[in-house]
Structures are given as structure tokens and as C-alpha cells.
Amino acid sequence: DASDIEKGTYPHYMLKEIDEQPVVVRNIIQNYQAENGSLKIDEDILSAMKDADRIYIIAAGTSYHAGLVGKQFIERMAKIPVEVHISSEFGYNMPLLSEKPLFIFISQSGETADSRQVLVQVKELGHKALTITNVPGSTLSREADYTLLLHAGPEIAVASTKAYTAQLAVLAILAQVSGRSKGIETDLDLVKELGIVASAMEALCDSKEEFESIAREYLSVTRNAFFIGRGIDFYVGLEGSLKLKEISYIQAEGFAGGELKHGTIALIEEGTPIIALATQDFVNLSIRGNVKEVVARGANPCIISMEGLEMEGDRFVIPEVHHLLTPLISVVPLQLIAYYAALHRDCDVDKPRNLAKSVTVE
Ligand code: G6P
């Protein structure tokens, strides 16, 4: 049938969609480039960003994890304070809003009911909303004031992969162009650096045997697994743990490296897999300190670091990219590790139990 054709020679949509990420990033660069080659965002969106004294990012699941990284992009490159909220909580737990809030809804499908409820609520309050979505004409796109598209092509696998990296790329572009329109220059040639990201993604997609063997070594029999990181590595760890639990049913949690000692470390037993990300220079030593703490309690560490920050014993070293953009590539090993863990455990990778691709009920 048609879906077989679309999957081509791939055994699963998820693997195909992971592999599409370099092309998606290049598509996004093209789609957001002006004729002179510089990045562009619609003027009405830029003026909404300029007018906002605070941005509220609302999302669920993987899109929420993209929002956590997006906050860093927007605060650093556009200098606007950002709060990130889970949509299902926001409605009845609305924080005290700033005077001139701008709402950004991040949703691959554009149909998530939890997020839509918040959109309806904030529109009633008279606030402006921007939707970042993969689906033109989706509900969240139609009902918001503005839309930015992900240009990622249809995502079929329930576990989101290319939509996450596309969300990050679009958020980075939005952040930088908004900052620039306010006269803030970032020391980051985003077109060039996203190109480097795309090539790095390709290199990672060419290293699948590595991630298959990591999955085999660390995750084929375990009941649980932890992902640790600091700063943006922590947010990527949250996404890595979500991928793993969604498709392999291994109980997985992401933690901030420094928070482990405040409780979670009690769960460490002989052989507990700990996947640690080390892509940030300023916390490289402290995250490695956290790894030592868990190793002393018997954990089985798998450190994924970045070129230039690697140390002896690291299990995998990702290519170097700009320090703000590391989430776009550090997530790829985690996606592939989750994929192979699910495969080794005979799970239905594309259609995990109990989950739906888009959740249109509260
Ligand atoms: C569902 C999916 C998740 C997704 C979340 C948000 O729970 O299973 O993979 O991240 O919805 O979806 P959205 O389309 O709003 O990004």
C-alpha cells in the first residue's frame, strides 16, 4: 500500500525520519532564507516578538522539550524572558502573566487538544499567539495569529524525531532574527552553523552500528535507565529518556546532573545504565563529577561527549558544532539508541502501545 512505498527500503518510519534530519535542517535554512542569503522571518511576527515583554512557550511531550531549548535560544539571542509550560497544566495553573505576553505554541501536529485549550483561553484574554507546527492549516495554526512552519515533511512514527530537530532549528532562527531586528547581534553565523549541524547529523546517521551496539550493551536487559546532563544537555536528556520509554518501555528518566544527589542517586544499583551528555565546556568537569558519583555506586556509564571536550573512556564523541546548537545533534545518538533498544526488545517501534501520534482529547 501507499505507506509501504513511503517507507521505501526502511524497516521503520522512525529510522527513515531520523535519517531525514540533515535534509530537513537544510530545507529549513532554504525556506527561511531571503534572496540575499540572510535569514528572514515575517515582519508581523518580528513586531510581535519586539512588543513582547515575556514569551510563554506552551507545548506537550517532545515539543515541550524543544521549548526548553528554545527558551535558551530566545533569551540569549533575542534577550526576551521566556517561560516554558506543559499545556495540560497551564489552563488551570496559569502563572501571573506579564503585561505584554506573547504565546508560542509548539506542536508537530498542530492538533494537540491540551495545547489548543490554552490557545482558546489566551485568545479570549486578548493575547497574541504564534504557532510553530509541521502541519499547514492545522487547528493550532489556523487559530493563532501567526504561524512558522517546520518544513519537515510528514512524520509518521509515533515517537517524534525530525520534528524535534526542526523545531529547534526554527526556534534558533526565530531567536536570532528577532534579536537582530532589535539591534542585538549574536556571534553566530546561523546559516553556516546550521549547515555544519546538518553535516554532523549525517555523520551520526552513518554511525548506526555504534548506537546499535550501545543499545545492546546497556539496554538489552535493564529495567531502567537514567539520562544526565547539565544546562541544555539536561533538556536533551529529558528528550532522550522520553524516546526510550515511549518505544522500548524501559523506565527512563532524565535528570540534571547536580540534582541526582538530592534523591535519584538512591536508585543506582550495580549495572544501572547512565547515559551522560557532555557537550558544554563550562559544565564538562561537573557532569563528569556526577558520573563518578554514580559509578562509585555501581552504575554503568555511557558518556557521549563532543569533540574538543572528550576524555578517556567516553563511549561516543559527536562532531563539534556551535555550543548553542548541540541539542540538534546530541539528540540523534539518543534517538538511535532508543530505536535499537526497542528493536532488540521486539517492540513495535512505529506504533508503541498506549500512544497516539496526535492526542486530540484532553
Ligand atoms: C503525543 C505524541 C508525542 C508528541 C506529543 C505532542 O503525545 O505521542 O510524540 O510529542 O503528542 O504532540 P504535538 O503534535 O503537539 O507536537
Q: Whose CA is nearest to atom 4 of ligand 1?
A: 61
Alpha helices in 277-325 (DSSP H): 284-295
User: In the block, which residue shows the cell 515575556?
Assistant: 54
Distance between CA atoms of residues 134 and 150, nearest Å: 5
Alpha helices in the chain (DSSP H): 2-7, 13-19, 21-31, 43-51, 61-77, 87-90, 113-124, 139-143, 162-181, 190-205, 208-219, 232-248, 284-295, 326-344
Per-residue pLDDT band at 264 (split at 50, 70, 90): confident
pLDDT in tens, 158-185: 999 999 999 999 999 999 999 999 999 8
Cell numbers that stand for 289 in this block: 563529577
248: Cβ below 6 Å to ligand 1? no
Q: Which residues contact 132 (CB under 8 A, 6 or more apart)?
A: 104, 105, 106, 107, 147, 148, 150, 167, 170, 171, 174
- Let me know: does 16 contact 335? Beta carbons within 8 Å: no
- Let me know: does 171 contact 66? Beta carbons within 8 Å: yes
Dmax (CA) for the chain in angstroms is 58
Q: Which of 160, 171, 351, 353 gets mutated to test ligand 1 (max ligand atoms within 8 A of its CB)?
A: 160
pLDDT in tens, 69-84: 999 999 999 999 999 9
Mean pLDDT check: name the lowest of 5-14, 105-114, 236-245, 287-296: 5-14
Q: What is the dihedral of CA 338, 340, 343, 349, to 10 degrees?
A: 40
pLDDT in tens, 212-229: 999 999 999 999 999 999
Q: Whose CA is nearest to atom 13 of ligand 1?
A: 107
Nearest to 214 by CA among 102, 348, 334: 334
pLDDT at residue 187 in the model = 87
Asked if residue 151 has pLDDT above 50, the reply is: yes
Distance (angstroms) between ligand 1 centre and the Cα of 359 equals 7
139: Cβ below 6 Å to ligand 1? no
359: Cβ below 6 Å to ligand 1? yes
161: Cβ below 6 Å to ligand 1? no
Nearest ligand 1 atom, CA 115 = 15
Per-residue pLDDT band at 355 (split at 50, 70, 90): confident
Asked if residue 345 has pLDDT above 80, the reply is: yes
Q: Which residues contact 47 (CB under 8 A, 6 or more apart)?
A: none
Distance between CA atoms of residues 179 and 18, nearest Å: 30
138: Cβ below 6 Å to ligand 1? no
Q: Which of 13, 65, 109 gets mutated to test ligand 1 (max ligand atoms within 8 A of its CB)?
A: 109
Catalytic site includes residue 123: no
Q: Whose CA is nearest to atom 5 of ligand 1?
A: 61
Distance (angstroms) between ligand 1 centre and the Cα of 164 equals 10
Average pLDDT over residues 145-170: 97
Asked if residue 268 has pLDDT above 50, the reply is: yes
Per DSSP, 158 falls in state S
Q: Which residues contact 36 (CB under 8 A, 6 or more apart)?
A: none
pLDDT at residue 351 in the model = 87
Distance (angstroms) between ligand 1 centre and the Cα of 358 equals 6
Average pLDDT score over the chain: 95
Q: Which residues contact 296 (CB under 8 A, 6 or more apart)?
A: none
Asked if residue 135 has pLDDT above 60, the reply is: yes
Asked if residue 1 has pLDDT above 80, the reply is: no
Q: Which of 141, 359, 360 gets mutated to test ligand 1 (max ligand atoms within 8 A of its CB)?
A: 359
Provide, rounded to the nearest whole percent, the portion of the chain with pLDDT above 70: 99
pLDDT in tens, 3-52: 555 788 999 999 999 999 999 999 999 999 999 999 999 999 999 999 99
107: Cβ below 6 Å to ligand 1? yes
| Separation in Å, CA 178 to CA 51, 57, 82, 305, 307 | 11, 16, 14, 31, 30
Average pLDDT over residues 328-338: 98
Distance between CA atoms of residues 46 and 200, nearest Å: 30
ipTM of the predicted structure? 0.96
Distance (angstroms) between ligand 1 centre and the Cα of 59 equals 9
